[in-house]
Amino acid sequence: MRKLVLFTTLVLTLSCSKAPSIDVLCTTSVVADAARQLLPDDIVVEALMQSNIDPHSYKPVESDVAKLSNAGLILHNGLHLEGKMTDILDKLGEQKPVHAMSSALRMHELIEVGPNTYDPHIWFDLQLWERCVGKLSFFLIDQFPEHTEAIEENAMNYYKALLTAHNEMTVAINVVPDSMRAMVTAHDAFSYFGRAYGIEVHGLQGISTAAEFGIKDMTESAQFILDRGLSTVFIETSVNAKSIEALQEAVAQKGGEVRIGEALYSDALGEKGTPEATLIGAFKHNTAQLLKSFN
Ligand SMILES: [Zn+2]
């Protein structure tokens, strides 16, 4: 009898270890934040890519593949932000629910950067992101119908928080003269942000960090900084700082001077436990740094 109990315990332990340990697995920290805002705390949400990770060049390792196949459902940004994960996400979509945040948006709302290619950095236009969160809430209600009430309530509260942050930035940027409203960053992650808040954005590396930048880009960017009289250029937490350091040097060679500002959060949010670990926290950090650079 004792043997039978031990055997049963072992079988139960083994079968439990095969059960999905992560309910909702998200590719990036930005997407995971949206899911955490909506879902009750007892549903396990995890991001595959931690802070400082660049999603454009991220290739899933073996342990990620195991996580992806064990997770209950998968959330990703879409629009090829996770450029090296396209095939695996397509395959997973045949086995389990897979949802892209960008599926909430229509073509005309997206920034086209080439034939059938759209800028994937949709989250820093908070009004656009609110739409993505709205569609996500319907998807999550379908998946977790027992939590419908909580998801609806969390969504309503989160819409308000997004709107407040959006309005605060709109008020703050409106006192900055048009001629000064420009920013230079390591890669083009802020085009939707720039469109939403009336800021001309210049990224050294294009919309993907996989693209190379040349001497011509460097010279043009240096000239742009001098023409617009920018005091600061920005590095990003998930992108190598070398290109921006070279740009600072290129400005100096033209007889100008530009400082490197505090790193902005672009494709990854901050470390767990910091205010910047949420999208709104990261947005506030970025906007505070940018507004400071105009003074
Ligand atoms: Zn990016």
Q: What is the set of domains in the chain, with CATH numbers?
A: 2-129 (3.40.50.1980), 170-293 (3.40.50.1980)
Q: How far is the CA of 86 from the centre of ligand 1 (A)?
A: 16
- The three-state secondary structure class of 40 is coil
pLDDT confidence of residue 210: 67
Task: Give the count of beta carbons closer than 10 Å to the beta carbon of residue 148.
Answer: 13
Q: Quote the ligand 1 centre to 81 CA distance (angstroms).
A: 7
Q: Are 90 and 66 in contact (CB under 8 A)?
A: no
pLDDT of residue 213: 66
Q: Is 57 helix (H, G, I), strand (E, B) or coil?
A: helix
pLDDT at 239: 87
| 258 Cα–ligand 1 center, Å | 23
Task: Give the per-residue pLDDT at 6.
Answer: 40
Nearest-angstrom CA–CA distance, 192 and 152: 27
Splitting the chain (295 residues) into consecutive groups of 10 residues, what average pLDDT does each group show? Answer: 42 42 96 98 95 91 94 97 95 97 97 94 97 98 98 98 98 94 92 97 78 75 94 92 91 96 95 96 97 92
- Residue 234 to residue 163: CA distance in whole angstroms: 26
- Which pLDDT does position 21 carry in this prediction? 82
